Structure 1
Amino acid sequence: MEQPAMLSTLFTCAFPFVFFTIFFIRWLFPVTTTTQKRLPPSPPWLPIVGNLHQLGLHPHRSLQRLAQRHGPLMLLHIGVRPVLIVSSSDDARDIMKTHDLIFSNRPKLTISDRLLYQGKDVAAAPYGEYWRKVRSICVLQLLSNKRIQSFRAQREEEVALLVQDVKHSALLSLPVNLSQLFASLTLDVICRVAFGRKYIESGEGGRKFKEMLGEFMRLLGGFYMGDFIPWLAWVDRINGSDAKVKKIAEEFDKFLDVVVDEHIGALKMKGGTSVEDEEGKDFVDVLLEVQNSGVAGSSIDRDSIKGIILDIFSGGTDTTYTVLEWAMAEILRHPRVCGKLQNEVMGIAKGKPDITESDLDKMHYLKAVIKETLRLHPPIPLLSRESTEEVKIMGYDIAARTMVYINAWAIGRDPSEWDEPEEFRPERFVNSSVDVKGHDFQLLPFGAGRRGCPGILFAMITNELVLANIVHKFDWELPAGTSAEDMNMTECSGVVAHRKVPLVAVPKPRSF
C-alpha cells in the first residue's frame, strides 16, 4: 500500500513543476507554424502577466516611451490578450479610416458591461444592427445641430451663474477652485439637457448624486483582472471591485428608473402626447418619444434609454470639465496667451457685458487655444478599438479580436507632426485647417471614424462659452507663493486624464 501512496505524492509534487517548465519553455521558444505570421515588434514580456507590469500609473506616458524604443506600432500582451498600441497618425489613419469597419468594435470589458446595461448603450455596444440604430438616434435625435441649439439658453444661464460665483469670490479677494466650479457647471448643464432639471442642488440628495457619479467614472476607468488573466478573476472579488461595481450599477439603475418614471408620468398628465415645443424637450423626453414612435426601424427598450443617458453623463461631464481646467491651467502659465485671448474677446464684445454663443464663431484665437489644449491634454488619452477579423496593418499581421489602443496623447506630442511639440503655442492653429472632428489624424481628442464621439459640437460650444466669459470678466492670478514654473501639471490615473491637483486661481474683476 505504501508504494502507490508514494507514487501519488511524487506525482502531485512533480506535476506543477513539469507544467510550469513546459509553459516556460513554450514562452521562451514559441512554436512556429508553417504559415509564418509577421507580427509587430513587441517589448519583452513575462509569463502570465505579459507586459502588464510596464504600464504604470499613466499608461499613455509609459506606452509613449515604449514606442520610442520599439516603434509606433507595437504588439503588447496584457495577460492572455494581445493589444496593439498605435502611436503615429499614419497608423491611426490605417486603423480608424482605411480599416475602420474591421476595427469597429469596442473591447468587451466586464466593468463597462455591468455598468452600461450589457452593451445596450452606444459607447460600449458591439458593432452591428443595434449599435447602428442607437448611434443614429444619438446623432439625429439627441445631438443634431438643431437640438444642440435648442439648449442654448440653459448653457448661457449656467455660465452666468458660474460668473456670479467667481465675482463673489473676486470681491472678497478669495481664490477659487476652478476645477470644482467647472465640474459643477458641466454636471448642471448635462442634468438640465438630459433630465430637464438639476439634480445637483445643495443638500444630501445633490451630494449623494455627485458622489455616485464620481464613483461611476472611477470604476469605468478601472482595471478588472479577470478580463486579462481569467484564472485570477477571484482577485476582483477579494479586493472589492465586484461589490463596488454591483453597488454603483444598482444605485444608478434605481436613480434612472425614477427619472424615466417621472418623465412617463409627466407625459401621461399631458394625455400621452409628446412635448410639442422642441425647445422644451430634454433627452429623456426625446428617447421616450423614439421608443413610442419606433423611430430608426424599431423601438428601443427601457434599458437602452438608461444606457444612452449614462453615456451622455460619462461622455459629457468629466471630459468637458477636464478640457476647461487644462485650458485655464495653460492660460495661467502663459500670460502672453491670456493677454492675446482677452484682446480678441474684448474686441468682439465691443463693450457688451456678456459673451453669447452668437459671438463664438468670430473668436478664432479662442478656438486655437482650445485646440492646442486638446493636442497636449486630450481628455481620453487612449482610444480603444478591437479587430473583428484578421487584417494587415502596415505590413503586419493583426489577429481577429486584438485589442487596440490609439495613443492620442503621444500622437499629439509627436515631433514628426508638430514643431516644438511640448510647447503650448495656440498660434499653430491660427489659419490652419487641422481640426478636432476626426478628419486630421494628428489631432484625435474625440476619436474618428464610426466610433468617433457624436457630441463634439456640444462639448466645443460649452468649452468656448465658458472660457470666453471668464477671461472677458476677470483677470487671473495664481495664489500667493505659486509661480507658473511651479504649477503641478501631473495627470491623475483613470480613463479621463484630469489634473491630479485641483486648479486654484485668484480672479480680479475687469472694468469695461
Structure 2
Amino acid sequence: MAATSAISIVFYMFSWLSLVVLISLLKYLIGKTRTNPRIQTPPSPPSLPIIGHLHLIGSSVIPKSFQALAKLYGPLIQLRLGASTFILVSNAQVAKQVLKTNEINFINRPHIGSSSEYNLYEGCDFVFAPYGPYWRFMKKLCMNELLSSSQLGRFMHVREQEIKKLLKSLMVCSSEGRECDLGFELTTLTNNILCRTAMSTTCLDKDKNSDDDAVEIHGLVKEFLELGAKFSIGDVLGPLGKLDLFGYGKRLLKTLTRFDQIVERIMEEHEKKNDNEGETWDMMDVLLQVYRDPNAQVRLTRNHIKAFFRDIFLAGTDSSSVSVQWTMAEILNHPTVLKRLRAEIDAVVGSTRLVNESDVPNLPYLQAVIKEAMRLHPTAPLSLREAAEDFSINGYTVKSQTRTIINIYAIMRDPEAWPNPEDFIPERFFDDGVYGDHYYLKERFIKMSVNDFRYIPFGFGKRGCPGASLALTVINLTVAALIQCFDWRIKGGDRVNMEEGSSFSMALAQPLVCYPVTCFNPFSLSA
C-alpha cells in the first residue's frame, strides 16, 4: 500500500513537471516567433529554454551575481529565471528614472511567496499593499505617529536603557576574559528596542520576570525570513510553486499562527490598560486607538494591526543589528579609522559620561563611518517594484506588470559613481576628501542629498523605508558606545572575515566573535 502511494506521488510530480516544462517551452517558442521587431526590449544575456538565465546566477549572494551580469551587459538588462521575467537596474541614472521620474508607475511592489491559503494576513500587509487609500493612510500614520520624531523622542529612555544593558553584558565578558558573539548581543539589543517601542514587551530582562515574548517573536521572525527565501523559489517554478511540495506552506502557517497568538494576547493586554494612567503610548496603543475610532479614514481590522507588526519585525529586527556588525567589522579592520573615531568621541563627549543621542550631530566622523559602512553593506540590497503601465527607459520598452529589481548593492559600489568603490573610506563624505587632524569640524561633513541616487540604503520616495530615522538613531548611538567603552581583540586573528552571507540582509557569513577590553566604564563614575 505504501509503495503504491509512493509511486502515485512520484507519478503526480513527474506529470506536473512535464506539464510545466511543456508550457514553458511553448511560451518560449511562441514568444520567439511573435516578438514585435519594432519594440526594443532591454538587452538580455544568452538564455536557455525553460531555465532562462538561472545558469548565470553562480553565487549564493544574489546581489553580487546580478552585479557581475550588469558589468557584462549594462545597467539595464532583462533576465528570466525559470517562469519569472524581470528587468534589473544597476546604476544611479537608471534607478532615478524608475524611483523618481516614473515613481507612480513603479510605486507598487510585486507579490512574491506563498499562496493565500498559508497566509493569515492575506491582503492586510503594509509593505506589499498596492498604492491606494489603505497604503496612503498607513504611510501617513507611520510618518506622523508611529515613527515620527516626537514618538521616537518618547522612547529615547528605552534605547538608552537597552544600550546600557548591552554594555554591562560586555563588561562582564571583559572582566572574565571571555569572548562574546557580538552579533548575538547586538541582535538582542535591537530586538528589545523594537519590541519595547512597538508593544512594550521585552526579552532577557534580568530585572523582571518577563514571559520572554520578544525571544519567541525573534525566533518566529527568523523562521519567516528563512521561509521567505525558500518561497521565492516558487516564482521560478511557476505552477509547481503552488503545490507546497516541500511543506514550506504548512510551516509558514504554523509559524504565522503562533505569531498571531502572541500578538493577539498583547493586544488584549493593551486594551485592558487604563488610558489615563499616563503611560507612554507605544505603537500598539496608537494602532488600537485607530482601530476603535469609528470616524477613522480607514477602518483597521485586527489582522491589519498584526500584519503591520509582522512587517515591522521582518524589516527591523535584524537590519540594524547587521548594520552595526558590518560597521564594527570595518572599524576593527581599519585601525586608523578606529583611532580617529575614538579621538572625535573623546573631544566631543569627554571621559566623564557615556555618549548619548544628543551628541551624534556633533560627531560627523561617526556619521561618515556609518554612511560608508552602509554604502558597502546595505541591509536591503535589492528593491522590488512593478510597472503599472508600459513605459520607455533608455530607449527600451518595458511592458506593464514587468517586475523590476533595483540592485542597491551594485549602485553603491558603482566605479563610475564612487572612486575606489570597494574600499572603506569614510573621508569620502567630507567636502575636500581629506579629513586631516581636526576631528570635530562638522561643517566639513557632507549630507547626501535625498536626490543623490548614488546612495540609497533606505530606498527612495514614497516607498522608502519609514523606519530609517529609528534605525540610524540606534546604529549611531550603539557604535559610538561600543567604541567609547571598549578596545576589541578579534578571535582567531587580526582581521574580521568580511565574507558576505546569503541571507536577505547580507549579514556577515561568519559570527563576529571578539574579546571586549574595557577602556571606559561609565557605571563606575560617582554620581
1:376-395 mapped onto 2 (5 Å cutoff): 376-395=376-395
Q: TM-score, normalised by structure 1?
A: 0.89
Partners of 1:111 and 1:225 in 2: CA distance = 10
Q: 1:71 to 1:116 in 2, by over 3 A?
A: farther
Residue 253 of structure 2 is aligned with which of 239, 246, 249? 246
Which has the higher mean CA deviation after the structures are superposed, 215-224 or 438-447? Answer: 215-224
CA RMSD, 1 decimal: 2.5
Matches for 1:319-334 after TM superposition, within 5 Å: 319-334=319-334
Structure 2 CA distance, aligned partners of 1:81 and 1:327?
Answer: 35
How do 1:15-414 and structure 2 match up within 5 A? 23=25, 27=29, 30-32=32-34, 36-55=38-57, 56-111=59-114, 117-201=121-205, 207-233=215-241, 237-266=244-273, 270=274, 274=275, 277=278, 280-293=280-293, 297-414=297-414
Distance 1:137 1:206, change over 3 A: closer
Aligned partner of residue 440 in structure 1, secondary structure: coil
Q: Does 1:482 align with 2:501?
A: no
Q: Which residue of 1 aligns with 2:6?
A: none
Tell me: CA distance 1:432–1:212, structure 2 relative to 1, closer, same or farther (3 Å).
same
**Kindly tell me: are residues 47 and 282 of structure 1, through their superposed partners in 2, closer, same or farther at Cα, counting changes over 3 Å?**
same
Is the contact between residue 382 and residue 407 of structure 1 (CA under 8 Å) also seen in structure 2?
Answer: yes
| Contact 2:191-2:214 within 8 A present in 1 as well | no
Q: Is the 8 A contact 1:199 1:209 kept in 2?
A: no
Cα distance change on mapping 1:255 and 1:22 into 2, 3 Å: closer
Q: Which amino acid aligns with 2:381?
A: P
1:9 aligned partner: none
Deviations 1:202-223, CA, capped at 9 Å, x for gaps = 7886654432221122223334
What residue number does 1:427 align with?
Answer: 427
CA distance in 2, matches of 1:199, 1:414: 41
SS of residue matched to 1:397: strand
SS of equivalent to 2:367: helix
State the AA in 1 paired with 2:493. T
Q: Which moved more, 1:168-177 or 1:463-472?
A: 168-177
Correspondence 1:440 to 2:452 = yes
Deviation at 1:34, TM superposition (A): 5.3
More deviation, 401-410/192-201: 192-201
1:25-63, Cα deviation, whole Å (9 max, x unpaired): 954981245562111111122222222333341110101
Residues 438 and 407 of structure 1: is their aligned pair in 2 closer, same or farther, counting only changes over 3 Å? farther
**Distance (whole Å) between structure 2 residues aligned to residue 21 and residue 349 of structure 1:** 66
Change (3 A) 1:201 1:22: closer
Identity %: 34
More deviation, 311-320/215-224? 215-224
- Equivalenced residues, count: 484
CA deviations over 1:313-347 (Å, ceiling 9, x no partner): 11221111010000000011001101110001111
Preserved CA contact (<8 Å) 1:133 1:296: no
Q: Which amino acid aligns with 2:323?
A: V
Structure 2, gaps ≥5 residues long: 1-17, 431-443, 522-527
Name the CA distance, whole Å, in 1 between partners of 2:283 and 2:115. Answer: 22
Mapped to 2, the partners of 1:206 and 1:33 lie a distance apart of 54
Note closer, same or farther for the CA distance 1:33–1:378 as it changes in structure 2 (3 Å cut): closer
Q: Check 1:503–1:21 CA distance in 2 against 1; reply closer, same or farther (3 A cut).
A: closer
Give the residue type in structure 2 aligned to 1:445: P
What residue in structure 1 maps to residue 438 of structure 2?
A: none
TM-score normalised by L of structure 2: 0.86
Secondary structure at 1:477's aligned position in 2? strand
Q: Secondary structure at the match of 1:118?
A: coil
What is the CA–CA distance in structure 1 between the aligned matches of 2:331 and 2:377, rounded to whole Å?
A: 13
- 1:353–1:115 distance in 2 versus 1, CA, 3 Å: farther
> Displacement of 1:148 after TM fit?
0.8
1:353 deviates by 2.3
